[in-house]
Amino acid sequence: MPKNKTKILVIDDDPKVSWILSEGLSSSFHFLSARDGIEGIQMVATEKPELILLDIKMPGMSGIEVLERLNKIEDRPEVIMVSGHGETNYVVESVKLGAAEFVNKPFDVQEIEIHINGVLERKKLKSQVSSLRAEIQASMSFGACIGDSEPMLKVKSIIEEVANSDLTVLIRGESGTGKEIAARMLHQSSDRKTKPFVKVNCAAIPRDLLEAELFGYEKGAFTGAHRTKQGRFESAHKGTIFLDEIGDMPLELQSKLLQVLEQHEFVRVGGINNIHVDVRIVCATNRDLELAISQKEFRDDLFYRLNEITLQLPTLRERPSDITLLVDYFLDKYSKLYEKEPIQLSSAILDKLISFQWPGNIRQLENMIKQVIVRNDENIIHDLIAAAGRHPLPSGGSSLAEARVETDFSDLENQFAMKERIGRIVAAEEKKLISDVLNKTNWNRRKAAKLLEISYRSLLYKIKEYKLNDAK
């Protein structure tokens, strides 16, 4: 059998059915046949078909019983029920049991081909949705913190040691060294892990809005404040607030932050009441804060208060032994995300990666591997490294912030693009499902809502949203 043909198992006591299908559709699918339910269930285990065409009326086990048994198999193949005349009363039962389609005998081969393609397409979408969901979940909780080099083990052990104290932690390190990952690890390793982790990028929020964003505001506090709004500190109550790019916080706000650190309370913009919060503060920066202090851009009292524990993240060039692990991790992550064949890099390319200086640290390595996966060509590493050598990232001070803002936006774009893709896939799937169930219940909306396990009102809303109509 050619490898790329989809395997379809026909479970039917009438051998003509699988013969007719093989005759008509053998160029696209590989049909296997089982003469009864028992044989069919065995073949699901041994042959691993992607789809099953299941007759309802068979001697011995009925199609409905076979479907019930198949439902016990994890990740079972999709099932299209095939029924003879007068068996339409099984439609609802089959749908309830999770059959994807219902086809009447005698069928037209072209018609059944459309059903098969539709079900396979939906199956593919479903698996895309679940892998994207898993990916988003992973990126939203926190990505794995890869590395077992000595400097990384030290970082991990400090995180474990201080996670449960409420000491304020200042995470320092060059751009792309994993400061945000470290902050998330701190939260996840603490008793606060079931409570919110709230990230605020102090450099990305315009100066005049940052105070309202952090501390909230009262209705009427300024033009446009139509209602009272709580700030990020309140949202983080009982959890952790991560003040990223703390070195870019305006001086006037630094004193208010100091007050929160000392008294655990603050006043909303335009408010008079003290608001008490229980929040663990973690900050990060790649600015030289000592220099900022000497230039009167950062308060020294705040610096000492924030700096109860310093977590200095190593650069990637200080831990070249982690590069192979990171490469494998990103190859696996992005081949799954973009549904590409997994790739292994040649030792020549790996050597090149290990000896590179990585001014943009892990983010730069991650971006390169992402491109290798997308373009399915490890040799682009030569060009990427040569280009990185010609235009090295700035190595410190405020110019680094520019490079960082650029990459931050690309990360954001990725997240939005991924969310948008998920939204579209989910909507397409939902529309198809609702339309199927409506057709199968002859547009009995109450019955359909029940089968779909949604309220009647939601169903009416969805019908309108997806512009579905009863074609009959």
Distances (CA, A) of 341 to 52, 143, 262, 302, 375: 27, 22, 54, 50, 11
| Residue of 404, 440, 452, 463 that binds ligand ATP (CB under 6 A) | 404
Binding range to ligand ATP, per CB under 6 A, among 17-25, 192-200, 358-366, 412-420: 358-366
| Residue of 12, 55, 180, 248 that binds ligand ATP (CB under 6 A) | 180
Nearest distance from residue 199's CB to ligand ATP, in Å?
Answer: 10
> Which stretches within 279-360 are classed as H helix?
289-294, 300-306, 323-337, 347-355
Classify the phi-psi angles of 220: left when phi > 0, otherwise alpha if psi is within -120 to 50, otherwise beta.
left
Q: Is the dihedral of CA 125, 143, 414, 387 positive or negative?
A: negative
| Residue of 18, 94, 177, 240 that binds ligand ATP (CB under 6 A) | 177
What does the alpha-carbon distance between residue 38 and residue 304 come to, in Å, rounded to a whole number?
73
Nearest distance from residue 175's CB to ligand ATP, in Å?
Answer: 4
Choosing among ligand ATP, Mg ion, none, which partner's interface includes residue 394 (Cβ < 5 to 8 Å by kind)? none
What does the alpha-carbon distance between residue 29 and residue 32 come to, in Å, rounded to a whole number?
10
What does the alpha-carbon distance between residue 243 and residue 239 come to, in Å, rounded to a whole number?
13
Of the pair 87, 180, the CB lying nearest Mg ion is at 180
Compute and round to an integer the Cα radius of gyration of the chain. 29
Of the pair 151, 270, the CB lying nearest ligand ATP is at 151
Of the pair 102, 242, the CB lying nearest ligand ATP is at 242
Distances (CA, A) of 23 to 15, 46, 215, 274: 13, 24, 71, 79
Site for Mg ion in 29-88 (CB under 5 A): none
Decide if residue 175 touches ligand ATP (CB under 6 A): yes
Tokens of 369: 């591997």
Of the pair 366, 378, the CB lying nearest ligand ATP is at 366
Site for ligand ATP in 423-452 (CB under 6 A): none
Nearest distance from residue 150's CB to ligand ATP, in Å?
Answer: 14
Of the pair 114, 153, the CB lying nearest ligand ATP is at 153
x-or-dash pattern for ligand ATP, window 155-174, by CB under 6 A?
A: ------------------x-
Site for ligand ATP in 124-153 (CB under 6 A): 143-147
Nearest distance from residue 316's CB to ligand ATP, in Å?
Answer: 9
What does the alpha-carbon distance between residue 149 and residue 326 come to, in Å, rounded to a whole number?
11
Tokens of 391: 């235009």
Tokens of 389: 């050598």
Calculate the CA dihedral of residues 206, 208, 212, 214 and round it to 10 degrees: 50
| Residue of 362, 369, 372, 437 that binds ligand ATP (CB under 6 A) | 362
Choosing among Mg ion, ligand ATP, none, which partner's interface includes residue 231 (Cβ < 5 to 8 Å by kind)? none
Site for Mg ion in 166-205 (CB under 5 A): 179-180
Site for ligand ATP in 264-303 (CB under 6 A): 286
Total residues binding ligand ATP (CB under 6 A): 19
The answer to whether 197 touches 240, Cβ cutoff 8 Å, is yes
Decide if residue 234 touches ligand ATP (CB under 6 A): no
Of the pair 153, 251, the CB lying nearest ligand ATP is at 153
| Residue of 63, 176, 239, 359 that binds ligand ATP (CB under 6 A) | 176
CB atoms within 10 A of CB 370: 17
Closest-CA residue to 98 (of 129, 77, 121, 127): 77
Q: Sheet of 6-11: strands edge to edge?
A: 29-34, 6-11, 51-55, 78-83, 101-104
Q: For residue 49, say if its preceding peptide bond is cis, omega within 30 degrees of 0.
A: no
Residue 169 is classified by DSSP as E
Of the pair 107, 329, the CB lying nearest ligand ATP is at 329
Decide if residue 37 touches ligand ATP (CB under 6 A): no
Nearest distance from residue 135's CB to ligand ATP, in Å?
Answer: 12
Give the burial class of 18: count Cβ atoms within 10 A of its Cβ; 0-12 exposed, 13-18 middle, 19 or more buried.
Answer: buried
x-or-dash pattern for ligand ATP, window 301-340, by CB under 6 A?
A: ----------------------------x-----------
Of the pair 148, 265, the CB lying nearest ligand ATP is at 148
Tokens of 137: 């979940």
The answer to whether 40 touches 67, Cβ cutoff 8 Å, is no
Residues lying near Mg ion in the complex (CB under 5 A) are found at 179-180
Residues lying near ligand ATP in the complex (CB under 6 A) are found at 143-147, 173, 175-181, 286, 329, 362-363, 366, 404
